[in-house]
Amino acid sequence: MIPKEKIDRDGDHRDAVIEGHFPSTSRMFLNFLGCLLAIPVYYFSTVHSRYPVTLDIVITIALTELNRYIVERRRADFARSEQQLAEETRSWNEKEEWSPVHLETQPLSAAPRLECLAAVVGWREDPALYTRALESYKSARTCAFFLAGIDGDEAEDQDMVTVFSQVFPDHSAVIHVPEPLGEVAERIRDKTLAIQRQQGQSINVAEAEAVAMQTCLNLARTILNQHNIQIGTPNGIRQLCLKQRHMHKKGIMFTAYVFSLIIADILGIEFMWSSDSDTIVFPDSLEQTINSIASDPKAGGASSGLVVHNSRETAVTSLASAVYWGELYLTRSTPACTGTSDCQSGPSTAFRLAALPAILVPWYLQVAFGKRMIVNEDRHLTTNLLLRGWNVIFASDTLAATDTPTTMARWLKQQVRWARATHIESLLRPKVYILSHPLLFYGMVKREFGPAIGAFAVMWYFFTSHMFITISVMDFVYRIMISSAYNFLRNPHRLTQKDLVWTVPGVFFYYIPLPAVQIYSMLTMAADGWGTSMRASGDMERAKRESRRKAWFELGFFVVWMSIVAGVIAKALTSYYGFVWHERMAATLVAMGAAGFAAWKITIGAQ
């Protein structure tokens, strides 16, 4: 265990660093001007460009390469610092006057810092998949402690506990948390605010959140002591499973993160890896992600790229895999080169633990539209880091493997959930753009308004038969050719011939529904839930009995949208070939009916 005086000294150092993160007034003014400039830049690069889609992919690829160069430079800086530390340690050993007192005077930051704690959360995961996920951490480098969080304590949740005990039979323990720590934090915060009002004090929300956080930390330490959990000793616990009453993903994440802070404090660990119960890590996933931020005290978090480990399961998973390694790999890189990645993906995220205590309570208690939000856990964590001046890195050349939905219905539900979180964080937190590089704002404009403009253009042509924006077929052809060539040559996920077959279909699979997903998710931003159904066998049968009304509410937008898209294509083709009006009308109606039925069949009808 680290001596208390060293922890205190390091804590003071971290507080000083946190305060120094915020940009100066002049810098914030320049950021504001940059945001204003980003709007006309985006407008002229799209509306007044002959090949806007091609130009966009060229810019995106350039920023992706720049981000990879910067990440490699960060790793090189860390390697140099490690080498320098090794040389200094060797010189100490060569001195006759060396003593433990000499080592004690060295700053804590000189200690090796790359070890991390891994926190993995889930809810009624498929046992076979959960087993594969946990097994992968046995070979993960730099993982010094493993913490599993299970969102449920009923009989049906015991399968995950059993898997944990089978994968980690030695040096492991299971703890039932009597009350979710998120509820404890909420109660203590409200009580502290009430006391402030009763005593006539000025309301200090930050102080109330700090009190709530400290109470949760004390409670977590007490629970570990009550269960006689020995950590950091030769025969101590190295894997711990926490289970609590079922709430939601945010609830179990909060509890797991609080326990992680206590355990990391005991072990002297500076970083935490956070992931989901369906994610499989590679031996270098944790190490390569963490060493991209290890040498930068201003870096509060990082995330790796993602590939799909069940890509051969269905046609939908094959298409989704092409989206992950192609489209998402590129789009996530847009603002990342400036240290302002706007989403640390839930399955593959690393945090500097010093950044978490100040943000966990406000993150957990987030309110939007007068309602507690539980669907945007990863994006809101990232936003809180950026609002407090931390850099957030995207280590795009490092990979972890996640599970993707196997049906079109579940894929669309996942995309809608992600889009809701994106809207909430992008549109309701404007302060983050003043504190961050203007490229973050540019990426937001492109992501939020690009699909919306596309949806408007399609609807405009459908109702008026006039084009809102000029569309060039060759523009899309060039774009697909350039992105495919780049991914084949430079994507960190080495592609096979089978992967290449899905490249072009994957582009249409992602971008055709995207405008509808964008608009529908904007209209339903306050909806909540885990976003995907539980995958344990008994619960799968229960999920199949979902009502038709609910299915239409969740997926009806896709049926309507595909009908409109088919109608637009039919109108354009019949107009090009000179059909008379009644022939154009008949072709449009037939196309809309066929497309609508097909969309219904693969989504609502399939359930």
> CA-CA distance, 191 to 181, in Å (whole number)?
15
Pairing between strand 172-176 and 371-372? unpaired
> CA-CA distance, 447 to 175, in Å (whole number)?
42
In tens, the pLDDT along 229-280 reads 999 888 899 999 999 999 989 999 999 999 999 999 999 999 999 999 999 9
> CA-CA distance, 393 to 33, in Å (whole number)?
24
> CA-CA distance, 185 to 214, in Å (whole number)?
9
Amino acid 186: pLDDT: 94
Amino acid 409: pLDDT: 93
Amino acid 111: pLDDT: 40
Structure tokens at 474: 């060759």
Structure tokens at 46: 């799209």
Structure tokens at 530: 């885990």
Amino acid 527: pLDDT: 74
The amino acid that residue 384 corresponds to is: N
Helix (H) or strand (E) holding 42: helix 25-46
Q: How many residues does the chain have?
A: 607
DSSP reduced 3-state for 244: strand
Amino acid 105: pLDDT: 40
Contact by Cβ (8 Å): 298, 466: no
**Candidate from 89-93, 181-185, 226-230 with smallest mean pLDDT:** 89-93
> CA-CA distance, 393 to 342, in Å (whole number)?
9
In tens, the pLDDT along 522-580 reads 988 877 654 444 455 445 445 455 577 888 889 999 999 999 999 999 999 998 888 88
The CA–CA distances, whole Å, from 265 to 2, 59, 242, 478 equal 8, 43, 18, 53
**Candidate from 39-48, 404-413, 481-490 with smallest mean pLDDT:** 39-48
**Candidate from 15-29, 149-163, 235-249, 592-606 with smallest mean pLDDT:** 15-29
Whose tokens are 């015991």? That residue is 158
> CA-CA distance, 262 to 269, in Å (whole number)?
10
Integer-rounded Cα radius of gyration of the chain: 26
Angle between helices 249-267 and 205-226 (to 10 degrees): 70
Amino acid 498: pLDDT: 76
Mean pLDDT, rounded, for 46-50: 78
The contacts found for 522-525 with CB under 8 angstroms, 24 or more apart, are 522/419, 522/423, 522/452, 524/416, 524/420, 525/368, 525/369, 525/420, 525/423, 525/424
Structure tokens at 203: 């309301």
Amino acid 93: pLDDT: 54
The upper half-sphere exposure of residue 223, i.e. CA atoms within 13 Å in the direction of its Cβ, equals 27
Amino acid 256: pLDDT: 96
DSSP character for 340?
Answer: B
Amino acid 265: pLDDT: 93
Angle between helices 514-523 and 548-576 (to 10 degrees): 140
- Number of neighbouring beta carbons within 10 Å of residue 477: 12
Amino acid 11: pLDDT: 39
- Position 211 confidence tier, pLDDT thresholds 50, 70, 90: very high
DSSP reduced 3-state for 352: strand
The CA–CA distances, whole Å, from 332 to 293, 343, 492 equal 17, 8, 14
Amino acid 2: pLDDT: 36
- Position 13 confidence tier, pLDDT thresholds 50, 70, 90: very low
pLDDT greater than 50 at residue 3: no
Q: What pTM does this model have? A: 0.86
Please name every residue paired with 371 in a beta bridge, in sequence order, or none if there are none: 368
pLDDT greater than 60 at residue 305: yes
Degrees to nearest 5, angle at CA 254 with 215 and 250 = 140
Helix (H) or strand (E) holding 409: helix 408-427
Structure tokens at 444: 């937001």
The upper half-sphere exposure of residue 346, i.e. CA atoms within 13 Å in the direction of its Cβ, equals 20
Amino acid 172: pLDDT: 94
Amino acid 271: pLDDT: 96
Amino acid 1: pLDDT: 36
Percent above pLDDT 70 for the chain: 89
DSSP states along 81-130: HHHHHHHHHHHHHH-TT--HHHHHTS-GGGS----EEEEEEESS--HHHH
pLDDT greater than 60 at residue 51: yes
Contact by Cβ (8 Å): 281, 207: no
Cβ partners under 8 Å of residue 361, min gap 6: 185, 189, 209, 210, 212, 213
Question: Which has the closest alpha carbon to 415: 299, 539, 324?
Answer: 324
The CA–CA distances, whole Å, from 159 to 239, 278, 433 equal 17, 14, 44
Amino acid 544: pLDDT: 54
The upper half-sphere exposure of residue 61, i.e. CA atoms within 13 Å in the direction of its Cβ, equals 20
DSSP reduced 3-state for 594: helix
Helix (H) or strand (E) holding 438: helix 438-464
The amino acid that residue 400 corresponds to is: A
Q: What's the mean pLDDT when you consider all of the chain?
A: 86
> CA-CA distance, 264 to 258, in Å (whole number)?
10
In tens, the pLDDT along 83-115 reads 777 666 666 555 544 344 333 344 434 444 589
Contact by Cβ (8 Å): 345, 392: no
Pairing between strand 143-151 and 172-176? unpaired
Amino acid 129: pLDDT: 94
Whose tokens are 């009190």? That residue is 211
**Candidate from 40-49, 122-131, 191-200, 400-409 with smallest mean pLDDT:** 40-49
In tens, the pLDDT along 367-387 reads 888 888 887 888 999 999 999
Contact by Cβ (8 Å): 92, 102: yes
Amino acid 580: pLDDT: 87
* Identity of the highest mean pLDDT range in 17-21, 79-83, 283-287: 283-287
Amino acid 291: pLDDT: 93
Amino acid 102: pLDDT: 38
> CA-CA distance, 309 to 306, in Å (whole number)?
9
Question: Which has the closest alpha carbon to 171: 237, 240, 228, 266?
Answer: 237
Amino acid 545: pLDDT: 53
pLDDT top residue among 582 and 161: 161
pLDDT greater than 90 at residue 133: yes
pLDDT greater than 60 at residue 221: yes
